[in-house]
Amino acid sequence: MTRFLSGVQPSGRPHLGNYLGAIQQHVALQKDGTAYYFIADYHALTTVQNAETLREHVRDLACTYLALGLDPKRSVFWRQSDVPEVTELTWLLSTVIGMGLLERGHSYKDKVAKGLTPNAGLFLYPVLMAADILAYDADYVPVGKDQVQHVEFAQDMAGAFNALYGDVFKRPEWKLSESPRVVGLDGEKMSKSYGNDLWVFEEGKALKKRVGKIPTDSRAPEDPKDPDGMLIFDWLEMLCPKDEYEDLCRRARAGGEGGPGYGELKKRVIEGMDTMFGDARAEYHRLRADTGYVDSVLAQGASRAREHASAVRDRAYAACGLR
């Protein structure tokens, strides 16, 4: 059976862009093969360096995935640091590759280009990511276009190790995710770092306040409006059924007595969020209160993941003479 693998950094509360760009696809892949998904807390240490914050982000991400449809009976779901074998494989891989490969890493290059001094963890980030992929004999790694390089690095490292020691690691392939460009509240790409994101489980007054930040102009409801290029309509397209969205566009272009005002349009955005995430929101809050269940899911997932990772680790140890 085809094996998919992906890791998600616990960098804060997942927003609408995270859902439409990754989580939605991860949940859908459960029906197409065996899905291995981990919470990348080792990776998060390169940027999140507060213990309580990291623990909170990990728990929040676990509850979010479970609430949005990840089924622990159909997938393997665990916390990265519960499988220490990946750090052993990281060292083995680091001994067969040159620094030049790592210097081409996008995250490292971006930091250097901005005049920042990256830590060694960021420099070695692609090696740990390759170990994450190779430890589970993954067939495919679902990624966006900007993440393809990480899978290419994993292919290079597997090839370098296998050339020296024999057929140890399975070559993974990438699977491009359908990752739409999700606009934020200001029209730029949605990002936590820009402060223009919308948490998938926002509700009530907080949701109304966030949606209220979507910029509009001073035109009255009866004034004709061209939906193309209007940010509020980008949001409606993401959240409303197609027929409803097309009706709103038609009314906006026609204007007159039936023209929608911005208040109505923002109300529809709020209703769209409630419809898309209402049930999952309730489940999220239930899971947040049931810490024992969430811990058991991650522990069981780690046990299954570690069984496979330890076998791959032993295979690699034997090949290079450590066992």
Domains belonging to the chain, first-starting first, are: 3-182+291-320 (3.40.50.620), 192-283 (1.10.240.10)
At residue 113, the pLDDT reads 84
CB < 8 Å & 24+ apart, contacts of 16-19:
16/182, 16/190, 16/197, 16/198, 16/200, 16/238, 16/273, 17/182, 17/184, 17/189, 17/190, 17/191, 17/197, 18/200, 19/68, 19/200
Q: What is the pLDDT of residues 259-310, one digit of tens each?
A: 899 999 999 999 999 999 999 999 999 999 999 999 999 999 999 999 999 9
| 23 contacts: CB under 8 Å, gap ≥ 6 | 8, 14, 64, 65, 68
Average pLDDT for runs of 10 along the chain of length 323: 95 93 94 96 94 97 98 97 98 96 87 84 94 97 87 97 98 84 92 93 97 94 92 96 95 92 96 97 98 97 98 98 91
Q: In the prediction, which pLDDT does 179 show?
A: 66
- The pTM score is 0.93
Cα–Cα distance, 148 to 129 (Å, whole number)? 12
Contact 165, 319 (CB under 8 A): yes
What's the pLDDT score for residue 156?
Answer: 97
